[in-house]
Chain A
């Protein structure tokens, strides 16, 4: 059955800029711009700045007296210490510990929060949150259709955006939010992103999408700003080992298997999934996400089987030639017995076992993690 693909308000802009439009999570989005290509776009974000249309992402507003207790109940982190305008990565889990989605939480007021969710999970997430909101005094509103979302990422992002906003960006801590204007348009700014670089995510009314997009591209031209597609977005999040739903995490994967146990707080009290997650933490997960590098030649790709001792025992979640390092690397789920650094595994590439070795994560240290 043919799926009806949605187009973002910037569809015509992408086509005009040589965007190669492909289906992604129910949307038609540029995988790359043919004038540049994924490798150039990737490198530009690492060294200058890139602009991404990420309007497919969803935004859910939670507001009311019980907004905090509701979020404490429905996601795994302790967010009681979040001040107004803080932003934080977290996860929502099912009762069995499987991941509903990974999310970014913004506290925009004492009783007003935004939850930013993945495009592919938006409907499911909203329904799941609704189902768990019984008994809480709050309102849940899906703002996705009227809220546009762009990501401006890279070392030059701050200099570019500062020309368009009265907010003092240098004073904005990493992982915080702000309500301000951009090019005169009211916007929520997050000092956030998913590329391993410093940068911003912008939320504003959908009617202003073309204005903000084109103003940013014009303003950033002198700094080397380029529009970037999904392929670069994927390789940029892969190198610092940031998980992507449907690859490293999904409903049958728990946070501990995916090395996201740091996001789980057992001390904060009860939450959905707590009992199952505590059991997994105590007993140890059945599979573990590792980083690996090819020893034999070959390009590892998502869903390639992983064999240990001649038996298929896992699979690749993401793999590629890392554009920044030139290494042929990937992430894969393997049995805990083969998760140690230096462990030998085989990646099945077109039915041929190719040697690989478990290596240190990440492949690229995110700008905000450097000492």
Chain B
């Protein structure tokens, strides 16, 4: 299976990505192409409340596909300052455009947390290893 890997984001082992919006100093978060593929057709995203504090590794939302409800983990700590309300009407955007369809924007507590995350090449290798490991 050929997945898309965005060179402009950093990846967590939980298959979440984060991209820094340098102009506003915000961390934009979403799920990877591998994650949306594993989920299958997304039908609902339970958006969190703006103002919620999340810690790196916390569950901040649940994405519901045709067959399952999957938890989504914050790749970075901070306060949620925006949610992508467009996903309420068009949750399938997570399938069609996983790196464009962000879920939350976080005012990051410590951007150095991103250093411990993977770049696209490392994440591609991580996904390949996970796939080779079987189900």
Chain A positions near chain B (C-beta within 8 angstroms): 20, 31-32, 34, 37-39, 231, 235, 297-299, 301, 320-321, 323, 328, 350
Can you spell out 8 A-B residue pairs with CB atoms less than 8 angstroms apart?
A37-B95, A38-B66, A298-B44, A299-B64, A320-B43, A321-B43, A323-B66, A350-B69
A-B contact count (CB 8 A): 39
A301 contacts B43, C-beta separation under 8 Å: no
Which residue of A is nearest B64, CB measured? A299
User: Does B24 have its Cβ within 8 Å of any Cβ on chain A?
Assistant: no
Tell me if A38 and B40 are in contact (CB < 8 A). yes
Q: Which of B41, B62, B64 contacts A38 (CB 8 A)?
A: B41
- Name the one of A37, A301, A328 contacting B41, with C-beta atoms under 8 angstroms: A37
Are A31 and B67 interface neighbours, CB within 8 A? yes
Q: Is the CB of A299 within 8 A of B69?
A: yes
A297, B69: Cβ atoms under 8 Å? no
Which residues of A sit under 8 angstroms from B41, Cβ to Cβ?
A: 37-39
If A34-B1, A350-B62 touch, does A299 touch B43 (CB 8 Å cutoff)?
A: yes
| A37 lies within 8 A of B40 (CB) | yes
Interface set, chain B 25-70, CB cutoff 8 A to A: 37, 40-41, 43-44, 46, 62, 64, 66-67, 69
User: Shortest 3 CB-CB distances between A and B: which pairs?
Assistant: A321-B43, A299-B64, A38-B66
CA of A38 to CA of B67 in the docked complex: distance in angstroms?
Answer: 9
A301 contact set on B, CB distance < 8 A:
69
Chain A residues with Cβ below 8 Å from B62 are: 350
Per the 8 Å Cβ criterion, residues 64-84 of B in contact with A are 64, 66-67, 69
- Closest chain B residue, CB of each to CB of A323: B66
Q: Known contacts A34-B1, A299-B64, A350-B62; is A321 also within 8 Å of B44 by CB?
A: yes
Question: Which A residues are CB-close (under 8 A) to B67?
Answer: 31, 38, 231
Are A320's CB and B69's CB within 8 A?
no
Compute how far the CA of A155 lies from the CA of B135 in the bound complex, rounded to whole angstroms.
Answer: 37
C-alpha spacing A323/B44, complex, angstroms: 12
Q: Compute how far the CA of A38 lies from the CA of B46 in the bound complex, rounded to whole angstroms.
A: 21
